[in-house]
Structure 1
C-alpha cells in the first residue's frame, strides 16, 4: 500500500477543500480537509504569519524539520506553501485526535495502565529517533500525541522542535524559552545553562502523569504559578496511597524521569528498556480500548471548545493584570535566587 508521504501533494490552496477545524493554537488553526486531486482526507495547519511576531526563520525551520523527519511514530509534513499571509502545512489526518481530547471527551480520570504503557512506548520510539538525529521536541504532552482509527500513534511536532545541528555543528543545548509550562523542565524555566534532549524526558514524565490522571500536575494554576511551583516544589509523581491502581513499575518510571538534575535522568533509548513497558501491547489494542464509541473528531473538538469558552468566562478573575504583575515579580525573584544558588 502506498503511504501518503510517497504521493506528490499539490502546493496550491485551490486544490484543497477545508472542512471543520479540529485544533487551534495562538496563531494557527488545524482543519480536516480534502486534497481534491488525490481524493484524500488530510489535516491542514493554517498558520497566520502576521500573528507570529515575524519569527519567519523559526517557522521556516519548523517546516524544514517536519519535511526531513521520517519515522512511523512522528507526524510528517506532506507539503507546505504560502497562501496570502498564511502558511499551509499539509499533514496526514489522524482521525482519533489527540490523547488530550480523547481524555477530555471520554476519560476525564485518565487511562488504564496498559493503554498508558502502549501510548508511551510509541512516543518513546519517536523521541529516541529525534534525539538520535539531533532534535529536541520541546513540547511533549498528551495534546501532541495523536491516534489514528487503527490505533497508530504519532507524536505531533507543531512548532517548537529545534534542530541541534545548525550549519553542520552540533549545538549541545538550546537557550530559547518555549514549550508549555506544566510540562516544562526546570532547566528550561531557569534559562541559565541552556538545556538538551533530557528536557524531553522530564516532559515525558509529566505526560505519563497526565495520561494517568486526565490532566497534568499544576494544570489548574496560571502559567507563572506553574513555573514557581516546578522550581520550588519537589517533583510531582504517582502517590503510593492515592494512585493504588497503578503498578510499582509505573511509579518508578515516572520517578526516574522527574528528577530535577537533567544529568540524572535516563535517555529515551534507555527508558525503552524499562520493565514497565513489558505490558505495552500492539497498537490495534488502542483502537478497541479508547476509540470505540467516540463521536467524530470535529464534533468532539466543537463540544470541547464550547465547554472551554464557558470555563474561561468563569475563571477570568484569575488572570487580572494586577495578579499577573505580582506573579511576574515573584517569578523574577525566584529566577534571581536560582541564579545566585547555581
Structure 2
C-alpha cells in the first residue's frame, strides 16, 4: 500500500459498521471525514475474495465518477487500502428503499412516497440513457434516500454501454456477467438472451417491478423458483399492485389467521390510484416496443400532479434518518453503536447491495 493511500485512509475515522455488501465480500461503515467533520459512508470491498466481480467494481467506480446528476449517488473518492478497494460516498440518511421496506414498511410505502421516489429514478434513468448506458439493476436496494428526501440511483456495477465503436447500437446482446441477485428485476428480453437482444427499455420494465416492490413491500417474484419466474415473464405475467382492486375478498380470507392473511388483509384495505396502476402496467408490458422511454414516462399525467407540498421525509415517518449531527450528538452515536453491538448478526444480514 502506498503512502498516498495510507494518507487518504487516515483522513477518515470509522464510527460504526452498518452491514455487509457485495454478497459478503465487503463491509459498509459509517465514518467521519476528520477535516470537514462530515459523516460519510465507506464501502470496503476485499478484492482477494471478490475475484470474479473485481472488474465490475472497477467499472462501477469509473462510470459513477463520470456521472453528475442530483438523482445519482456521488462517489467522493476511492482508494486502495491493502487488498481492499474503498469507495467513499455521502451519507444517505434513510439508507436504501429496501432497508425502509424491511424495517418500517413491510406492507409497502404510501402512494405519494412511491410517486416521488419513482419520479427521481426516472429522472436519473433519462440522464443515464441519454448518455448511452443501460443500468440493468433497478431495484429497491439500489435506490438510496438522503436525509432531505432526495432519491439517488446506485448499483452501476451491472451497467453496460449502448454505444460501441462510436455507434449507437439498436440492440444489445451482452448478458450481465453477474445476475444472481438481479434476476427477478430483469426484463423478459434480457433473460431470453435471443437474437432480438434488448435496449434501454429493459430498464423501464425494471422500473415497473420497482413500483410493485415499493407498493407491496415484497421483492417481485419472491415466492417463485427461478425457472417459474423465467416462464412467467416470458408468458407476459408480472406482479400487480396489491390493493382492494386486485385482491379478491376470497384471497383475503383464504389464509385463515396466518401472518400471510394479515399481510393480504392490510393490502386489501388500500387503494392505489388509477394513475399508479396505469404507470406500472405501461412499464411491465412484455414487448419492449410497447413501453415508453424514461423521458416519455415523465410526461405522463400521473407525474404532473403537483406534489411540491409533499415532503418525502414526512411520508417516511416513523423512519428517522441518520443525520450528519450524529458526530455532534454523543448520545445519538452511542445509541447507534450500542444497537450495532447488540444486534450485529441482524445488521450483517441487511441488504446493502448498492
**TM-score of the pair, normalised by structure 1:** 0.79
| C-alpha distance 149-55 of structure 1, shift in aligned 2 (>3 A) | closer
Deviation of 1:79 after TM superposition, in Å, equals: 1.1
Kindly indicate whether the alpha-carbon contact (under 8 Å) linking 2:110 and 2:315 is maintained by their aligned counterparts in 1: no
Query: Which of 28, 45, 48 is the matching residue for 2:46?
Result: 48
The aligned residue for residue 212 of structure 2 is: 209
1:20 matches 2:17: yes
Q: Secondary structure in 2 aligned to 1:114?
A: helix
The aligned residue for residue 260 of structure 2 is: none
User: Mind listing any 5+ residue stretches in structure 2 that lack a counterpart?
Assistant: 248-267, 324-335
The aligned residue for residue 187 of structure 1 is: 189
Q: Secondary structure in 1 aligned to 2:320?
A: coil
Deviation of 1:56 after TM superposition, in Å, equals: 3.9
The aligned residue for residue 276 of structure 1 is: 302
CA distance in 1, matches of 2:124, 2:151: 10
Deviation of 1:39 after TM superposition, in Å, equals: 2.1
Kindly indicate whether the alpha-carbon contact (under 8 Å) linking 1:117 and 1:279 is maintained by their aligned counterparts in 2: no
RMSD of aligned Cα (Å): 2.9
Kindly indicate whether the alpha-carbon contact (under 8 Å) linking 1:151 and 1:284 is maintained by their aligned counterparts in 2: no
CA distance in 2, matches of 1:183, 1:301: 34
1:1-342 aligned within 5 A = 12-18=8-14, 19-26=16-23, 27-166=25-164, 168-172=166-170, 173-177=172-176, 178-179=178-179, 180-193=182-195, 194-232=197-235, 234-238=237-241, 240-242=245-247, 245-279=271-305, 281-282=307-308, 285-294=311-320, 296=322, 306=346
| C-alpha distance 38-66 of structure 1, shift in aligned 2 (>3 A) | same
| C-alpha distance 116-23 of structure 1, shift in aligned 2 (>3 A) | farther
Deviation of 1:241 after TM superposition, in Å, equals: 3.3
Q: Which structure has the higher relative contact order (CA within 8 Å, separation 6+)?
A: 2
The aligned residue for residue 326 of structure 1 is: none
CA distance in 2, matches of 1:15, 1:24: 22
| C-alpha distance 214-11 of structure 1, shift in aligned 2 (>3 A) | farther
| C-alpha distance 35-152 of structure 1, shift in aligned 2 (>3 A) | same
- How many residues were matched structurally? 302
User: Mind listing any 5+ residue stretches in structure 1 that lack a counterpart?
Assistant: 1-8, 311-342
Q: Which moved more, 1:72-81 or 1:49-58?
A: 49-58
Deviation of 1:195 after TM superposition, in Å, equals: 1.9
The aligned residue for residue 337 of structure 1 is: none
Q: Deviations over 1:52-103 (max 9, x none)?
A: 3344443322111011000000001111111111111111110111111112
Kindly indicate whether the alpha-carbon contact (under 8 Å) linking 1:152 and 1:283 is maintained by their aligned counterparts in 2: no
Kindly indicate whether the alpha-carbon contact (under 8 Å) linking 2:221 and 2:239 is maintained by their aligned counterparts in 1: no
Deviation of 1:138 after TM superposition, in Å, equals: 1.0
CA distance in 2, matches of 1:184, 1:283: 34
Deviation of 1:187 after TM superposition, in Å, equals: 1.0
CA distance in 2, matches of 1:53, 1:156: 21
**TM-score of the pair, normalised by structure 2:** 0.76
Q: Secondary structure in 2 aligned to 1:104?
A: helix
